[in-house]
Structure 1
């Protein structure tokens, strides 16, 4: 029971830390929606058996996007959570192309926990591209993101058939969202 109280504390912390952040899509959803979706995917993929992983999923962008000090995560949620969060955090001092390349290279070497969060994160991002793409993202940029996400996920496969299926469905939906409807159909 105590660990699920910590999950709710993490959801509250994530909502507070990301309060002013919005998704890039035209719907401009509150960013917490993404964090909750990633955590829900991870919880479902593990049948709710790993509250520490769910907490890390809720906090997975805190260091990268909101510069939350790792020490704060350790103090509030423990070192195991902080270690997972750090494992999925990009080094924002590097150029974007280098960060993207490193995600592809590092994916197969990640821990089970980091792989699950990365897979859930990419699934959520592709669902957003399909449902509410960023207004300033061209078709080409969306295609590039879909292909890059597939390259990252290729190194994550074998960790959760159910979550991989969710990703594959999201990738297909994102690709379909770019195709004009057939005339007369």
Structure 2
């Protein structure tokens, strides 16, 4: 089964990596993103891309490796969500904001599922660590607020009401909760 292959591939690629603010195994994040998309009834290709969405950014795996192992469609979805780490934080985030405005719905679904999971975890960690948490990021509170609010502003672009998953509203509410604390 392709989804199991993607999960195993991502688990191996992320082996030894942990989440930014905890000692939790990194793979728990892509697994939660993939599970959210699967629960929404998304395609197998999109669920596979969810498992794989960070391997190109955070491991030696390349888009060509993804294409070889999983095909063009999954590689396209992963590539659409992969940031160019040679660019500055602001440039990378502006690219994601532009992507959220103009990308096909499947790419939007992947981006928002990823951002929602990150924000839910950030909210939990903030409850434990307080404002010191922002020191662990490449950008502080104000920049993170700008970025997440910009994603909310543009995430509905080009989607019909029937194409908007429930978790988009969940993300908008999480952004409001996390970034109204100051």
Q: TM-score, normalised by structure 2?
A: 0.83
1:95 paired with 2:88, answer yes
> CA 1:86–1:13 in structure 2 vs 1: closer, same or farther (change >3 Å)?
same
- Tell me what 1:163 maps to: 167
Which deviates more, 28-37 or 152-161?
A: 152-161
Shift of 1:153: 3.2
> How many residues end up aligned between the 2 structures?
170
Q: For the residues of structure 2 that align with 1:121 and 1:106, how far apart are their CA atoms?
A: 14
1:34 paired with 2:41, answer no
Q: For the residues of structure 1 that align with 2:134 and 2:6, how far apart are their CA atoms?
A: 31
Shift of 1:125: 1.0
Shift of 1:8: 0.8
- Tell me what 2:146 maps to: 147
- Tell me what 2:134 maps to: 137
Shift of 1:154: 2.2
Shift of 1:173: 4.1
Q: TM-score, normalised by structure 1?
A: 0.82
The structure with the largest alpha-carbon Rg is: 1
Q: For the residues of structure 2 that align with 1:123 and 1:56, how far apart are their CA atoms?
A: 16
Q: In the alignment, is the contact (CA less than 8 A) between 1:130 and 1:175 conserved in 2? A: no
- 2:17 aligned residue (14, 17, 21): 21
CA deviation vs aligned residue, 1:37-74 (integer Å, no higher than 9, x gap): 111121222x2x41111000110111111131222211
Question: Gaps (5+ residues) in structure 1?
Answer: 180-185
